[in-house]
Amino acid sequence: MTEPEADRPASSSQPPRVFATASAPTRLALWAWVALLVIVAAIAAAWLDARHEQRELRVELAKRLTEIDATQQATRAIVKDAQDNLRDAQAKIALLENRLGESQTQQAALEALYRELSPSRDEWALTEVEQVLMLASQQLQLAGNVRGALAALQVADTKLQRLDRPQFVPLRRALARDMDRLKAVPYVDVAGLSLRLDEAIGQIDALPMAFDGRLDALPPPASPQSESGWRRLLKGAWQEIRQLVRIENVDHPELPLLPPEQKFFLRENLKLRLLSARFALLFRDQATFRADLTAADAWLARYFDTRSKPVQALQTLLGQLKAIDMTSELPGLAASLDAVRVLQIARDKPQR
């Protein structure tokens, strides 16, 4: 209370106090109703907002559900298509698997049939190597062809090198040892010497005989122009008589006067001697080779004109041929052949 109101008398201040007391609950009630209205309005506004939000949420949820439903339908369609494609693919795969199984079965049958009807690659290689070695051995034994045998061994080793199998290592070692032994053999050009002997045989028919050369060297006597006709006639008759018997001093008194048929046989025998020497050269028969050449050289010196250049050239050739040494022993190929046969036996055992 304010200070003037306290100074007023009691009688005069009683009605206002009654009025103030009566209006206080009314204000409180009014304020309470106002507050209640405000609260109700706030609650209503909040409820409206919540309801609006719920409505929007429901709309959004309905949209989302619609979209999800559409997505699910599209997904179902895609899944259905995928399932159809999968079933088709599975059917195709099953068909392919059946065909693959059939082809594998056929391939296995063909491989088994091929293995039964034809040897393997290694077996073919061993067979070829054995044949090459047998040919090389025959060349050595029959013709003494060291170069040919060495070339055959090199071909066999090259074939085994291409296969590159560890089981072929012992065979390649045996081939290397045989090749080293063949390389150590002194080289004799059998083919070249045979050609030279053939050329010499072809020249024999043209070689001059010793006695024919001496007869041709005698010049006929010249008749003087001053002689009369009957003297020339008598001298001509005397020359013809002298042709029947002729005495000459020759270097070899034992040299016979060969008739034409004996000259033919002499030349043919000389050819046979050279042919025999040629065969001895092919077989590397040193003794026979030198004996034939020595006999041919003796016949040349005895029956043919040694002053002729073709005869001298042939004698020089025979001397060169006689100086060739063919006494070295040729190695065999038994070690390589045994190694091949051991490998073949080892491959045949598992099959049995």
- Overall average pLDDT of the 94-102 stretch: 89
pLDDT the model gives residue 294: 92
8 A C-beta contact, residue 314 and residue 207:
yes
Mean pLDDT: which of 11-20, 91-100, 231-240, 247-256 is highest?
A: 91-100
8 A C-beta contact, residue 193 and residue 321:
yes
- Where does the pLDDT of residue 328 fall: very low under 50, low under 70, confident under 90, or very high at 90 and above? low
Q: Is the pLDDT of residue 19 over 50?
A: no
* Domain parsing of the chain, residue ranges: 17-116, 121-185, 188-216+257-327
Q: Which amino acid is at 280?
A: A
The closest of 266, 269, 305, 329 to 277, measured between CA atoms, is: 269
Taking the mean position of all CA atoms in its chain, how far away is CA 74?
63
3-state per-residue secondary structure call for 102-146: HHHHHHHHHHHHHHHHCCCHHHHHHHHHHHHHHHHHHHHHHHCCH
Q: Is the pLDDT of residue 111 over 60?
A: yes
pLDDT digits (tens, 9 = 90+) for 157-206: 888 888 778 888 888 888 888 888 888 777 777 778 888 899 989 989 88
Residues in a beta bridge with 209? 304
- Where does the pLDDT of residue 338 fall: very low under 50, low under 70, confident under 90, or very high at 90 and above? confident
Rounded Cα–Cα distance for residues 220 and 57 (Å):
158
Q: Which amino acid is at 14?
A: Q
Phi, psi of 332 (to 5 degrees): -95, 170
